[in-house]
Amino acid sequence: MKTVSTKILLIAVPFLAISSLFSSCSNNEDGRPGYEFMPDMYRSPSLEIYSSNTFFKDSLNARQPVDGTMPRGFVAFDYDNTLEDYLLAGNELKNPFENSEENLEKGKKLYQMFCAHCHGKNGDGKGSITHPVYGAIPSYADDVMIRRTGGNMNTLADGNIYHGIYYGLNAMGPHNTQLNDTERWLITMYVKELQKGN
Ligand code: HEC
């Protein structure tokens, strides 16, 4: 009489033998890959990054978001890239974040990542980038060179600094996409600290 375990063996042994014939293995002796049971699992039929897509007739590229939609956490900045709005921002805006050690530390970290290579670790304008275009970056603590406000670097207000980060100025590019609203304010807080020139 056959026991249960011999029954299992009778089924399992032929199954293993047959499946090993089909199994995929790229290290066959002849160098050819084995048979693929389900090619879709190895080679995904989904669209590849940057490939054209045939789903939409009007465009081969990615879809644009619906008009008027905005990303989660989006905060509008209602000042234009004009001297007038730059000065307005300086007069009207105050940093909404509390000036605490924790926030300053966060601002410092972001500053080191996004600004220090040009403005220098201590904000003295001597960053590691030595290209001539960035040769004359003013120190945040500078009290001589007249700026757009009529004052100096060390008197720029919260809103001036934020506006400067958002839109950039001449050789300094805008940082309105790579930083969010919170990050820009935290960096602004740290720049206010660097204006003291310690
Ligand atoms: C690619 C180099 C570069 C980077 C990166 C950069 N800056 Fe600047 N920044 C400059 C230059 C150059 C100026 C001087 C522009 C001028 O006066 O024509 C400047 C000017 C400024 C000013 C003065 C603006 C004004 O209104 O007078 C502030 C404030 C400032 N940067 C802050 C920052 C902060 C904060 C960051 C990081 C988020 C940053 N910058 C990143 C190059 C850079």
- pLDDT bracket for residue 29 (50, 70, 90): low
Q: What is the pLDDT of residue 191?
A: 98
Structure tokens at 101: 């050690």
Highest mean pLDDT among 56-60, 129-133, 178-182: 178-182
Please work out whether the CB of residue 170 comes within 6 Å of at least one atom of ligand 1: yes
Cα 168 to averaged position of ligand 1 atoms, centre (Å):
7
Judged against a pLDDT cut of 90, whether residue 147 lies above it is answered with yes
Of 125, 97, 124, nearest in space to 187 by CA: 97
Whether the CB-CB separation of 118 and 129 falls below 8 Å is answered with: yes
Percentage above 90 pLDDT, the chain: 56
Cα 3 to averaged position of ligand 1 atoms, centre (Å):
82
Cα 37 to averaged position of ligand 1 atoms, centre (Å):
58
Q: What is the pLDDT of residue 83?
A: 97
Judged against a pLDDT cut of 70, whether residue 80 lies above it is answered with yes
Judged against a pLDDT cut of 80, whether residue 60 lies above it is answered with no
Judged against a pLDDT cut of 80, whether residue 187 lies above it is answered with yes
Please work out whether the CB of residue 126 comes within 6 Å of at least one atom of ligand 1: no
Q: What is the pLDDT of residue 105?
A: 98
User: Ligand 1: which of 115, 129, 162, 193 to mutate, judged by most atoms within 8 Å of the beta carbon?
Assistant: 115
Please work out whether the CB of residue 89 comes within 6 Å of at least one atom of ligand 1: no
Q: What is the pLDDT of residue 9?
A: 74
Cα 70 to averaged position of ligand 1 atoms, centre (Å):
27
Q: At CA 48, angle to CA 43 and CA 54, rounded to 5?
A: 110
b (16+ CB within 10 A) / e for 148-178: ebeebbbebbbbbbbbbbbbeeeeeeebeee
Cα 173 to averaged position of ligand 1 atoms, centre (Å):
8
- pLDDT bracket for residue 97 (50, 70, 90): very high
Whether the CB-CB separation of 72 and 141 falls below 8 Å is answered with: no
Please work out whether the CB of residue 87 comes within 6 Å of at least one atom of ligand 1: no
Q: What is the pLDDT of residue 166?
A: 98
Please work out whether the CB of residue 156 comes within 6 Å of at least one atom of ligand 1: yes
Q: Which atom of ligand 1 is nearest to the CA of 187?
A: 35
Residues in the chain: 198
- pLDDT bracket for residue 65 (50, 70, 90): confident
Q: Greater confidence, 40 or 15?
A: 40
Q: Read off the amino acid at residue 8.
A: I
Please work out whether the CB of residue 97 comes within 6 Å of at least one atom of ligand 1: no
Quick: pLDDT tens for 149-182.
Answer: 999 999 999 999 999 999 999 999 999 999 999 9
- pLDDT bracket for residue 40 (50, 70, 90): confident
Q: What is the pLDDT of residue 13?
A: 74
Please work out whether the CB of residue 191 comes within 6 Å of at least one atom of ligand 1: yes
